Amino acid sequence: MTDPSPTLTPAKRVECEVVTHSDEPPKRLHQSLSEDVGSDSDTDALFESGVTGVVEAEEDSDGPVPVPDDLKNSEDYKKYLQLITESEGYDCGSFDFPYFDYIIAPATQTLIDRNSVYVSPALDDYNKLHNRKLVFDSIEKMNLQFAPSCYNKYFVTFKVKDMDDGAALKTFQCSFMTFINGPSFEQFREKPTQT
């Protein structure tokens, strides 16, 4: 079993204020941008997404939030690591762990509602690429990997109707990261069969 924490190198990022509702105070976000921070394309994308202010910042001095030592040695954590390793993040169980960077946990219904809109257009691209006739049906589950500052990664298991197979329901999975200017898909596949 491997630790789910990827190795990241420090990078410049911007700190942003985003107004999501006029009755709420702005929320602070951090986002990595191109090497030319402040370029016209980056700035335009930020302000089109609702950002009201941009301040250049360095990486947090507090550093990453590590897995607590007592948790690393627990049976639950070992089961969690086995689940996420074997499923590549699509299954993570429902453990009640304290927060640590790169933890993978079930997404809330609000996050599922907000981010499920990315699946259907990616399915359209998959259909074109593989000459398939799959129609989105429903989200089965969505897991979220919390990363420090710059992105969140989603692991989505969903149902599709295969129109070339009498509208049979099939299970697919995709993983993507979300940034201010949209998602970046890493994987899109039919769910592997369990042996």
Model confidence over 156-186: pLDDT tens digits?
A: 999 999 999 999 999 999 999 988 888 899 9
The mean per-residue pLDDT over the stretch 85-95 comes to 92
Q: How far is Cα 26 from Cα 129, in angstroms, rounded to an integer?
A: 41
Among 85, 82, 83, 103, smallest CA distance to 93 is for: 83
Q: For residue 129, what are its two tokens? A: 């690429």
34 domain residue, yes or no: no
Among 119, 137, 139, smallest CA distance to 187 is for: 119
19 domain residue, yes or no: no
The mean per-residue pLDDT over the stretch 102-116 comes to 90
Q: How far is Cα 66 from Cα 82, in angstroms, rounded to an integer?
A: 19
Which of 11-20, 40-49, 59-68, 72-81 is most confident? 72-81
Number of domains in the chain: 1
Contact 118, 138 (CB under 8 A): no
- CATH code of residue 169: 3.10.450.10
Look up the pTM and report it: 0.66
Which residue did the predictor score with more confidence, 74 or 42?
Answer: 74
- Looking at the predicted structure, is the pLDDT value of residue 59 above 60? no
Q: How far is Cα 44 from Cα 53, in angstroms, rounded to an integer?
A: 12
| Residue 113, CA atoms < 13 Å, CB-side half-sphere | 3
Compute the Cα dihedral for 44, 45, 48, 53 and give only its sign: negative
- Residue 180 has a pLDDT of 80
- Residue 79 has a pLDDT of 93
The mean per-residue pLDDT over the stretch 87-98 comes to 89
Q: How far is Cα 1 from Cα 54, in angstroms, rounded to an integer?
A: 40
Contact 87, 187 (CB under 8 A): no
57 domain residue, yes or no: no
One-letter amino acid identity for 140?
Answer: E
Domain range spanning residue 110?
69-190
- Residue 63 has a pLDDT of 64
46 domain residue, yes or no: no
Which residue did the predictor score with more confidence, 109 or 102?
Answer: 109
pLDDT band at 68 (very low <50, low <70, confident <90, very high): confident
User: Of all residues in the chain, what percent carry a pLDDT higher than 90?
Assistant: 44
129 domain residue, yes or no: yes
- Looking at the predicted structure, is the pLDDT value of residue 35 above 60? no
160 domain residue, yes or no: yes
Among 153, 158, 142, 77, smallest CA distance to 108 is for: 142
The mean per-residue pLDDT over the stretch 136-157 comes to 88
Question: If residue 81 lies in a helix (H) or strand (E), which one and from where to where?
Answer: helix 75-87
